[in-house]
Structure 1
Amino acid sequence: MDQIEVKSFIPKFITFYEKATKQKCTKEERWNLWKEHYNFAAIPPGPDGQTLAKELLEHAWDQYEERFDYIKNWEPEHQKVADYLSEIKSLLGCEDPIKIVIIYFVGAFENNAFVAPYDDERLALCLPIENGNSDITLCHELTHVVHIKSANMNADWQRTIASIIIQEGLATHVSKKLVPGKEDRVYIEHEEGWLASCRVKKSEMIHGIRPYLNDDSSETVYKFTMGTGSTNTEREAYYVGWEIVKALFVEGYTFEEIASVKVSELPNWLHKIYPLVEA
């Protein structure tokens, strides 16, 4: 039986925000209060992550006032999580029980949900709430949870670029199947116009990322997710994954077949099927 535990970091954010607004802080004082009372963001590990967290806080600060009442009164949708998890397990052919901790948090309006290790047995599914609930985001991230189980993956920041490509490609297409009827950009874009710009550079991106399929260094993971990749475009691995999984469907692959490729096999498997997307 699946086990879903729920935690909320929203009260911690509210404490931070109320202290910061009451004290009329400088930017540095606000940052120190954030670290003391909240200290949670969708960032990579290490010093670069802390720098990014500080930038995200400053970028989002003026927007929090408008959304603060919503944040204080927000309520989770527990049944929806369980229902989508069941659908995704069926779609990916996963029969093993899933144990997860759902962590609701206040992000910086960047729509960056993520999955990370929680303990030896469970994954943490971290969902930002400041922009409202999103079935697409929920399906996307739950797909990561189930896929990690099906393919014997870990949820660490460092993993091969091949793993990231297939993880993100599968998750975007699962969300499209379970929450149908939207334009493609809704399932994958983090900012308006990104998908159109990627399509212009499609061939260049697909060829540019291929030499890195076996690379699992932190620097390379950052380069093709939060960095500017090989074409000066953020999140290239996401777009390449979208195109590769779409090409696999055309060839007759199923969601279950893609999800079942074990993590140790993914780089070589992806090299073999790469001509499908290069055509």
Structure 2
Amino acid sequence: MNHIEVINMVPKFLRFYEEASKTGIDADVRWRLWQEHYNFAAVPPGEEGQKMARELLDQAFSKYAEHVQDLKDWNPETSKLERTLKAIKEIMGYHQPVNLTVIYFVGGFEKNPFVAPYGEGVAVCLPVEGGESDIFLAHELTHIVHAQTAGLTPSWERTIGSTVMQEGLATRISEYYVPGEPEGKYIEHQDGWLEACRERHSDILNGIIPFLDDQSADTVSRFIFGTGTTGLRREAYYAGWDIVGKLLEHGVTFEELAHIAEEKIPVYIKCVISD
């Protein structure tokens, strides 16, 4: 049987927000309060991640006021977690129990759920400041199940080839599980991004080939958060969305893709792009 542990970071954020909203608190003091009382964001580890977290906080702080009451009223919905996890396991052909930690947090309205190492395993981290999303939930639970089927490393540093496959499966399975939404709902972080990527389709795929075996933190950050090789952000997401979509059209199943061992994924992705 699956085991799901839920950690709710929302009350911790609300305590920070109460302190940071007092009269006379400037941006620098607010940042120190955030680090002291909350210190949780969808950013990579290290100094660069802290810089990104500061930027997110500065940009988002004025927006929180209209959402505070919703955050105070919000509670986790465990039954939805259990139902979605069961469905994702069936789609990916995985039949063993899953031990899962889900962390609900308040982000910066950037719509960026993520999976991160936690204890001896990993945790699904889901933002709630803009309301819950069934697409986000399916996307991140796909990452959890995929890690089991393919023996994926839980660390931030993994090959770009593995990253492409992980994001491709997560975006396409969320599309399959929550059908009928505009394509951008499953993958875009900002309006117009998907069309811009399609206009640079060949450049993105050809540009990513030399990096498929690279697993350095800087390279992973470059293709997930940064501007890749074309000046467009999140190229690994686009490559995964396109490649897995094409494979599905040609009759490859989610289960087949999910069971490709991690060490074989970069070569597999390179062959698909070359074809």
Q: TM-score range by the shorter chain?
A: over 0.9
Gaps of 5+ in 2: none
Q: RMSD value over aligned CA atoms?
A: 0.9
TM, length-normalised to structure 1: 0.97
Gaps of 5+ in 1: none
Identify the residue that residue 3 of structure 2 maps to in structure 1. Answer: 3
CA distance in 2 between partners of 1:149 and 1:53 (Å): 30
Q: Is the 8 A contact 2:8 2:76 kept in 1?
A: no
* Partner deviation per Cα, 1:232-261 (whole Å, 9 max, x = no partner): 001000001001001111221000000000
Identify the residue that residue 207 of structure 2 maps to in structure 1. Answer: 208
Identify the residue that residue 188 of structure 1 maps to in structure 2. Answer: 187
Identify the residue that residue 103 of structure 2 maps to in structure 1. Answer: 103
* Partner deviation per Cα, 1:59-95 (whole Å, 9 max, x = no partner): 0010001111111111222111111100110110111
CA distance in 2 between partners of 1:155 and 1:191 (Å): 27
1:117 paired to 2:117: yes
Query: Aligned with 1:22: secondary structure?
Result: coil
CA distance in 1 between partners of 2:226 and 2:270 (Å): 23
Query: Shift of residue 112 of structure 1?
Result: 0.8
Query: Aligned with 1:102: secondary structure?
Result: strand
CA distance in 1 between partners of 2:162 and 2:256 (Å): 15
Query: Aligned with 1:66: secondary structure?
Result: helix
Moved more, 153-162 or 105-114: 153-162
Identify the residue that residue 59 of structure 1 maps to in structure 2. Answer: 59
Identify the residue that residue 125 of structure 2 maps to in structure 1. Answer: 126
* Partner deviation per Cα, 1:150-203 (whole Å, 9 max, x = no partner): 100022211100011000000011001110011111110011111111111111
Q: Is the 8 A contact 1:4 1:99 kept in 2?
A: yes
Q: 1:275 to 1:250 in 2, by over 3 A?
A: farther
The amino acid across from 1:69 in the alignment is Q
Q: Is the 8 A contact 1:151 1:259 kept in 2?
A: yes
Q: Is the 8 A contact 1:99 1:123 kept in 2?
A: no
* Partner deviation per Cα, 1:84-115 (whole Å, 9 max, x = no partner): 10011011011121111111100000011111
Query: Aligned with 2:21: secondary structure?
Result: helix
* Partner deviation per Cα, 1:206-237 (whole Å, 9 max, x = no partner): 10111100000111111111000111001000
Query: Aligned with 2:214: secondary structure?
Result: coil
Count of residues paired in the alignment:
275
CA distance in 2 between partners of 1:196 and 1:98 (Å): 37
The amino acid across from 2:82 in the alignment is A
Query: Shift of residue 272 of structure 1?
Result: 2.1
TM, length-normalised to structure 2: 0.98
Q: Is the 8 A contact 1:152 1:263 kept in 2?
A: yes
Query: Shift of residue 23 of structure 1?
Result: 4.2
CA distance in 2 between partners of 1:189 and 1:180 (Å): 16
The amino acid across from 2:89 in the alignment is K
Identify the residue that residue 162 of structure 1 maps to in structure 2. Answer: 161
The amino acid across from 1:9 in the alignment is M
CA distance in 2 between partners of 1:70 and 1:179 (Å): 24
Q: Is the 8 A contact 1:168 1:241 kept in 2?
A: yes
* Partner deviation per Cα, 1:23-50 (whole Å, 9 max, x = no partner): 4311100000000000000110110001
**What percentage of residue pairs aligned between the two structures are identical?**
48
Q: Is the 8 A contact 2:151 2:262 kept in 1?
A: yes
CA distance in 2 between partners of 1:266 and 1:28 (Å): 44
Identify the residue that residue 74 of structure 1 maps to in structure 2. Answer: 74
Q: Kindly report which structure 2 residues correspond to 1:17-36, keeping only aligned pairs within 5 A, or say none.
A: 17-36=17-36
CA distance in 2 between partners of 1:96 and 1:210 (Å): 34
Identify the residue that residue 94 of structure 2 maps to in structure 1. Answer: 94
CA distance in 1 between partners of 2:224 and 2:30 (Å): 28
